[in-house]
Amino acid sequence: MAYDKKYREQVLKHLSEGNTLKATQEVFGVGITAMQRWKKLKLETGSVEDTKRKERTPEICPDQLQTYINEKPDSYLREIAEKFNCTPQAIFYALKRLKITRKKNDTLCGKK
């Protein structure tokens, strides 16, 4: 769980008053690594606020993927990935979301 911005500022203020990391850790119960990371963040950005994760938009249109699979059912994940300009893993998870399996029939697997 992330610490509140005000709490982080209090910890850094305590450090700036000349207290050691160990003493500040005992007072606030915050890990030394976290305090060092906050101090570095304050120097670099001027704030101790959490950085937000970037939201990713879906790169693969499900309708286009479904159409491509219907047209070329024997294509490999890497071939599909090249078509959609992404990684084979992205194609794998997109197919999984669409509940499309990539099993080959018995004659392709060497069974008769």
| CATH code, 74 | 1.10.10
Let me know whether 40 and 66 are in one domain: no
What phi and psi, each to the nearest 5 degrees, are found at residue 30? -110, 145
- What is the separation, in whole angstroms, between the first and last Cα of the chain? 56
Let me know whether 38 and 10 are in one domain: yes
What pLDDT score was predicted for residue 109? 41
Would 35 be classed as within a structural domain? yes
Question: What is the residue range of 81's domain?
Answer: 62-97
Which tens digit of pLDDT belongs to each residue from 42-82? Answer: 998 888 887 777 766 567 888 999 999 989 988 899 999 99
Residue 103 pLDDT > 70: no
Let me know whether 10 and 39 are in one domain: yes
Indicate the number of domains in the chain.
Answer: 2
What pLDDT score was predicted for residue 108? 39
Would 109 be classed as within a structural domain? no
Would 110 be classed as within a structural domain? no
What pLDDT score was predicted for residue 105? 53
Residue 104 pLDDT > 60: no
pTM of the model: 0.49
Report how far residue 51's alpha carbon sits from residue 41's, in angstroms, rounded to the nearest whole number.
Answer: 10
Would 50 be classed as within a structural domain? no
Would 52 be classed as within a structural domain? no
Let me know whether 67 and 39 are in one domain: no
Asked whether the beta carbons of 106 and 112 are under 8 A apart, the reply is yes
